[in-house]
Amino acid sequence: MRRLLTQALAILTLAAATAAPALAQDWQHYSDQRGHGAFVCPTGPHPSGQRVCFELYCEAEGAPLEWHVTLSGYALDHGPQPLTIQVDGANRAALLMLQHVNDGDIDLRLPFEPAPHEPLLHVLARGASGILYLGVGDNQITLPMSLNGSAVALSKVQPLCGHEDYDPIVIPDHKPKPQADYILGAVEVRDMLVGRQLTWENAGGKAITTYKPNGQYEGLTIDGDSKRPNKGSWWLIDNGNVCWKGGAATGCFQFRQEAGQLHAYRVDGGQDLHLGQVLIRD
């Protein structure tokens, strides 16, 4: 518990000074008197003073691994914070991080558990791009995350920390390039979205919806203190659009991958109305 945000930021400052700007937010690793760690700081050296670093580390060789998130300049609710980790457009893990406060900075930790967490290491090592969703509600922080260098960094730390019977990380010959923007087709919508809780939010409020495999949907529309349940039927068009009917209302949604994030649009009646970024929960 002795590590502070300033240590992680010192590493970031050194990396920024010695690497090209485009590489400053890539994954890096260290092994010194502080311990052994693999980390990425998605914000980079932000002029606002806001900082976030995400790390897997141990304090000494053979010591237990811990997940670690450090923040400066952000507001979060008190208590444990959910951290959802998305890799290449799919949610891969949901961690409940325990919160500590160090001199005003926020320090979130969670012990590494081999059975549920080791598969995540391999996903992070192979992936092209990721997103961190930290917290809930109005204070949720969304951070696109580079996965450049993740395989090398994690493979350096893995054998030095924790249990001996780990599954070694294989460093890929090459990683897939982050996907260009595209519209989800019918197969992707069925595989990624159907049966899962979808949430998006905009100036008009928040929509929470589950499109059930039986062709029915149900959810909730939240506008300030007002909560309105909604339900009806839906069907999938060959082009991937999800069309729906609830009472007298009807419409169609389209889902698009944009800059590594999933977004919803309303596209019926000549509209192309952006509804917000989509958060997927199982």
Per-residue pLDDT at 92 exceeds 80: yes
The pLDDT, as a whole number, for residue 177 is 62
Residue with the larger pLDDT of the pair 245 and 23:
245
Which CATH number does 5-160 carry? Answer: 2.60.40.1880
Cα–Cα distance between 282 and 273 in angstroms, integer?
A: 26
The pLDDT, as a whole number, for residue 267 is 92
Q: Where are the domains of the chain?
A: 5-160, 182-281
pLDDT average, residue stretch 123-142:
83
The pLDDT, as a whole number, for residue 30 is 94
DSSP letter for 5, please: H
Task: Give the pair of three-digit tokens for residue 166.
Answer: 């780990």
Domain 182-281, architecture per CATH: Beta Barrel (2.40)
Which contacts qualify for 228-237: CB closer than 8 Å, 24 or more apart?
236/186, 236/189, 236/190, 236/194, 237/186
What is the value of pTM for the model shown?
0.58
- Name the average pLDDT for the chain: 82
pLDDT tens readout for residues 196-251: 899 998 888 899 999 999 999 999 999 988 999 999 999 999 889 999 999 888 99
The percentage of residues in the chain with a pLDDT greater than 90, rounded to a whole number, is 41
Lowest-pLDDT choice from 44-48, 129-133, 147-151: 44-48
